[in-house]
Amino acid sequence: MLTTKRYELWFVVGSQHLYGKKTLDEVAEHSEMMVSAMNEEFNEHFTIVMKPVMTNANDIYQLCLEANRTAHCAGLLTWMHTFSPAKMWIRGLKSLTKPLLHLHTQYNRDLPWDSINMDFMNLNQSAHGDREFGYMNARMKTRPKVVVGHWQDRNVINEIKRWATSALAFNESHAIKVARFGDNMNHVAVTDGDKVEAQIQFGWQVDGFGIGDLVAKMEALTEEEIDSLMAEYETIYKFDGPLQVDGPERDAVREQAKIELGLEYFLKEGQYTAFTTNFDTLHGMKQLPGLAVQRLMAKGYGFGGEGDWKTAALLRLMKIMSGGKETSFMEDYTYHLKPGEEGILQSHMLEVCPTIASDQPRVEVHPLAIGGKEDPARLVFNAQPGKGICVTVIDMGERFRFIVNDVETIEMTENMPHLPVARAFWKPAPSLHESAKAWILAGGTHHTAYSTQLTYQHIKDYAEMTGSECLHIGEKFNLDDFTNELKWNELYYKFM
Ligand code: MN
């Protein structure tokens, strides 16, 4: 399983010397209590680290530089406990390259009506100080995430957690390397784009290879390695008669085991965390990669079919955000337009990730209409019902555009006995007609990355951190507003 390192979030509290040392000591004491409580909530994924209370421009500048150069610092959580002049933040904010969250909170939840005096008012003054800080961020176009509410409030904690997931992905995004075997297939436009710009915006490095580099890795494998992976398949998946020892289809599965091992060696050697294949350039391969790709996605690798490097990198990004759970490459395949039941059958020729399976996947071997190779082995299953998002990223020329659609995967009641591929049937919000209309107007791909573990907000926050456009098609959708947003965004990105 591809994992990421553990990250810290730095808790940075702004104040000043106006009210004396006692006030600053109390600010530090309150902040430490808050950090300690938040760490109990975040412990599974992050450590929140308390930094000294900031009272001058040089300390803030030095702290921002330190955050930039600390690889395991995911970002800053800032809060102005008392009134804090924001001019002292200018130099630091100008230099900061890490994600910034502005937590607009207050140590006390309730006003102490009977004991409140001016000392209390001066100490608990974020209503003032955070607005001053807000002005500076607005003026400098820093665009931090702003979270408002008491620090013990469940919604506040969840909002910070969600943002932290996007901040983690932002930091890890620069380590995403995509290996492409062959170029874009069939001269498709939407899956292509500017790879240099993607590396500038997101840090995604995209490298091309010939399939012969993979074939060489497959030829170097030992029989023992392949036997051992076959044994693993048999313990995890349904293996029917023709696939068992001496069965007529067993060798076909063995071929996918070779592809999986060869691919994994290749990717590890070059530190690649995502890859694409192309069914037209398979010289030296007996089968199209099927089961092998599904298995690698389940291990956390990003993947895009037909040379689609943007979706491959996006899937890896969403695997990072979701911790690898229930997240897959997907394709809009065919519609069910019966009134009242409208939805989209999602699938691909072979490559859907088994982390979204509702039942134990079955290994099957069948011919494929394209590719001109031997019958490939693949995992067949239905997707787990539930709510999720599907996401695409497209190149609009001077910017990248994310499009997020809220979808609900429906329990599969039909068997579809002649369709031996993994599949999902989903209803996009707010309706198939509205969603498809918006998706087409926005120029979205037929390829998406799908996850039941993430929400629009995860993608939106990442898009904000990278200065990208992000469109949402959800329950509260309005087509007039959406088409206006498309027009206004054209203008906005012209000036950016
Ligand atoms: Mn496709």
Helix axes 154-173, 21-42, angle to 10 degrees: 80
Burial 310-325 (b: 16+ CB within 10 A, else e): bbbbbbbbbbbbbbbe
pLDDT of residue 164: 97
> Bridge partners of 473?
405
Q: How far is CA 429 from CA 243, 274, 348, 474, 476, in A?
A: 41, 29, 22, 5, 9
Domain ranges of the chain: 7-173, 177-495
pLDDT of residue 18: 84
Measured in angstroms, how far is the CA atom of residue 216 from the centroid of ligand 1? Answer: 26
pLDDT of residue 254: 96
Dig out the tokens for 56 from the structure.
């001058």
pLDDT of residue 245: 87
Phi, psi angles (nearest 5°) of residue 3: -115, 170
Query: pLDDT below 70 — which residues of the chain?
Result: none
Measured in angstroms, how far is the CA atom of residue 188 from the centroid of ligand 1? Answer: 10
The Cα 444–Cα 194 span in angstroms is: 16
Measured in angstroms, how far is the CA atom of residue 347 from the centroid of ligand 1? Answer: 9
The CATH classification number of 7-173 equals 3.40.50.10940
Measured in angstroms, how far is the CA atom of residue 348 from the centroid of ligand 1? Answer: 6
pLDDT of residue 355: 98
Per-residue pLDDT tens over the stretch 178-211: 999 999 988 999 999 999 999 999 999 999 999 9
Measured in angstroms, how far is the CA atom of residue 466 from the centroid of ligand 1? Answer: 27
Computed from CA positions of residues 103, 7, 34, 85, in that sequence, does the dihedral angle turn out positive or negative? negative
Per-residue pLDDT tens over the stretch 410-460: 999 899 999 999 999 999 999 999 999 999 999 999 999 999 999 999 999
Measured in angstroms, how far is the CA atom of residue 232 from the centroid of ligand 1? Answer: 28
Computed from CA positions of residues 378, 379, 381, 384, in that sequence, does the dihedral angle turn out positive or negative? negative
Measured in angstroms, how far is the CA atom of residue 474 from the centroid of ligand 1? Answer: 24
Smallest CA-to-CA distance from 358 within 323, 399, 386 is with 386
Measured in angstroms, how far is the CA atom of residue 339 from the centroid of ligand 1? Answer: 27
pLDDT of residue 240: 83
Measured in residues, the chain has a length of 496
